[in-house]
């Protein structure tokens, strides 16, 4: 994907433009996920409108990247590593969009929640959110550096996401068991935990696609 491998200068520029667009989309997705998680922990209900707007920008990036990829495929008919780059860029942008949707959904689930949620519950959700946020940050690092080793680290972090999800759900169920009147709140909090777990699944897929782009083969657990 380096420019010196391409006879036509504009081809290299198109590839770089696509690369830059995906990095920008990933950075925006990371910010949205962090903002959503922070809004839940401090119950900042005024931030929901801003989070919804950020998700719209992510959707716009997805449309822009789709257009770039289609133009690249039709005009340039890329082969070998450039074709893998186009394919993985499409897949990664889809996952970034879904992560944005899940973060937006979590922010909306926070709206009916009371201000007096148990600290243990909020701490458990915060730990889960921190793991998912770190996983996304590392996946962007893997993409920028085109590092298969960092991509593997991200894939393996999925186990930690699942463990923290289990602990968060345990705290939510404990909160529900204390008072059945908390059913609506507990249901929303369960959605939050499961959405974070799903976001982790999408981040794992981002890392798997980075690995595929670099290696030309799919990651297999050793």
Q: What is the pLDDT of residues 180-211, one digit of tens each?
A: 999 999 999 999 999 999 999 999 999 999 99
Give one DSSP letter per residue of 1-17, joined into a string.
--GGG-SSHHHHHHHHH
Average pLDDT in the chain = 94
Instruction: Classify residue 158 by its DSSP letter.
Output: H
pLDDT recorded at residue 3 = 43
Contact 122, 167 (CB under 8 A): no
H or E segment and range at residue 216: none
CA 110 – CA 36 distance, rounded (Å): 9
Contact 100, 59 (CB under 8 A): yes
Neighbours of 209 (CB within 10 A): 24
Residue pLDDT, tens place only, 119-152: 999 999 999 999 999 999 999 999 999 999 999 9
Q: Which CATH superfamily is 3-215 part of?
A: Phosphate transport system protein phou homolog 2; domain 2 (1.20.58.220)
CA 80, 81, 82, 88 dihedral sign is: positive
């Amino acid at each position: 994907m380096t420019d010196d491998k391409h006879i036509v200068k504009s081809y290299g520029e198109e590839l770089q433009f696509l690369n830059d667009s995906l990095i920008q989309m990933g950075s925006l997705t990371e910010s949205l996920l962090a903002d959503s998680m922070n809004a839940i922990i401090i119950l900042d209900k005024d931030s929901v409108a801003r989070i919804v707007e950020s998700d719209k920008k992510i959707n716009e990036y997805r449309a822009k990247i789709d257009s770039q990829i289609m133009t690249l495929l039709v005009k340039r008919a890329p082969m070998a590593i450039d074709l893998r780059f186009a394919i993985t860029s499409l897949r990664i942008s889809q996952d970034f969009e879904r992560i944005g949707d899940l973060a937006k959904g979590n922010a909306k689930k926070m709206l009916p929640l009371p201000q007096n949620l148990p600290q243990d519950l909020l701490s458990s959700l915060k730990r889960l959110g921190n793991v998912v946020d770190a996983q996304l940050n590392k996946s962007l690092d893997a993409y920028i550096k085109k590092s298969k080793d960092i991509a593997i680290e991200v894939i393996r972090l999925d186990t930690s996401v699942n463990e923290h999800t289990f602990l968060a759900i345990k705290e939510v169920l404990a909160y529900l068991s204390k008072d059945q009147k908390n059913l609506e709140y507990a249901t929303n909090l369960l959605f939050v935990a499961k959405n974070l777990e799903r976001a982790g699944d999408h981040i794992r897929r981002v890392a798997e696609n980075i690995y595929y782009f670099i290696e030309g083969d799919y990651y297999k657990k050793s």
